[in-house]
């Protein structure tokens, strides 16, 4: 037991289950992307761990890029106004982008990013998310590749945070309500 485990109500997906799912997603993506010279764009910070695993699971000739956006701050739900806090560092015109996210929740972030990348001249923008919480969707957006569909619970670990903590848990768990005052 590490110091963070006591704050977890239950484990949703173990490290092994995540690894197996990511492996399968990577193979499926390889089939679609092998001739596309894709640019994988990770949305910081939550997606950094998933990004590292999915690009290795999808052995396609590709490159990686990072963008940081802010919509939540430390709030519990998205405000809807998405701001870029660190932009991508290259020309993406004509490129096939695959946006890598840890979670698709209200959809505000990915709805904004998809439009943003298309405006910048991307040839295509597909979405790969480890978790999908469709019950919370406010924008009409769906992922092309989804790891797990999750219920509306406060999930942390494997990149996902609460107040910037718990990102380094190797599994995905539900946070105890008393930890966030729920």
Q: Does 116 bind ligand PRP (CB under 6 A)?
A: no
Maximum Cα interatomic distance, the chain, rounded to a whole number of Å? 49
Closest distance between ligand PRP and the C-beta of residue 34, in Å?
A: 27
Judged by beta carbon, residue 4 or residue 34, the one nearer ligand PRP is 4
The residues with which 8 forms a beta bridge, in sequence order, are: 175
Residue 142 tokens read as 């769906």
DSSP secondary structure code for residue 54 in this structure: H
Binding test (CB under 6 A) with ligand PRP, winner from 108, 146, 155, 156 = 108
- Degrees to nearest 5, angle at CA 131 with 24 and 117: 95
Q: Catalytic residue at 7? A: no
Binding test (CB under 6 A) with ligand PRP, winner from 105, 114, 156, 169 = 105
Binding test (CB under 6 A) with ligand PRP, winner from 43, 51, 60, 100 = 43
Distance from C-alpha of 175 to C-alpha of 41, rounded to nearest angstrom: 28
Distance from C-alpha of 57 to C-alpha of 34, rounded to nearest angstrom: 13
Q: Which among 13-21, 27-35, 38-46, 92-100 is the span making contact with ligand PRP, rule CB under 6 A?
A: 38-46
Judged by beta carbon, residue 34 or residue 70, the one nearer ligand PRP is 70
Site string for ligand PRP, 53-82 (x = CB under 6 A): ------------------xx-----x----
**Going by DSSP bridges, is the β-strand pair 172-175/8-13 parallel, antiparallel, or unpaired?**
antiparallel
Residue 78 tokens read as 């998205």
Binding test (CB under 6 A) with ligand PRP, winner from 161, 166, 169, 175 = 161
- Degrees to nearest 5, angle at CA 124 with 122 and 130: 115
Binding test (CB under 6 A) with ligand PRP, winner from 26, 38, 107, 157 = 107
Q: How many residues does the chain have?
A: 182
Residues with active-site annotation? 105
Q: Please report, as ranges, the residues that interact with ligand PRP according to CB under 6 A.
A: 43, 45-46, 71-72, 78, 101-109, 161
């Amino acid at each position: 037991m590490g110091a963070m485990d006591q704050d977890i109500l239950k484990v949703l997906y173990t490290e092994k289950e995540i690894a197996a799912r990511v492996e399968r997603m990577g193979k499926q993506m390889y089939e679609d992307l092998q001739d596309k010279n894709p640019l994988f764009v990770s949305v910081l910070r939550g997606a950094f761990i998933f990004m590292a695993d999915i690009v290795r699971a999808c052995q396609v000739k590709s490159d990686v890029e990072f963008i940081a956006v802010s919509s939540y701050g430390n709030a519990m739900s998205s405000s809807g106004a998405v701001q870029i806090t660190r932009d991508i560092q290259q020309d993406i015109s004509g490129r096939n982008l695959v946006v890598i996210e840890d979670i698709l929740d209200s959809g505000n972030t990915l709805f904004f990013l998809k439009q943003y990348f298309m405006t910048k001249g991307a040839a295509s923008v597909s979405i790969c998310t480890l978790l999908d919480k469709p019950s919370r969707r406010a924008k009409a957006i769906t992922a092309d590749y989804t790891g797990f569909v999750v219920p509306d619970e406060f999930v942390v670990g494997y990149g996902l945070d609460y107040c910037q903590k718990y990102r380094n848990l190797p599994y995905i768990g539900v946070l105890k309500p008393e930890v966030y005052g729920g």
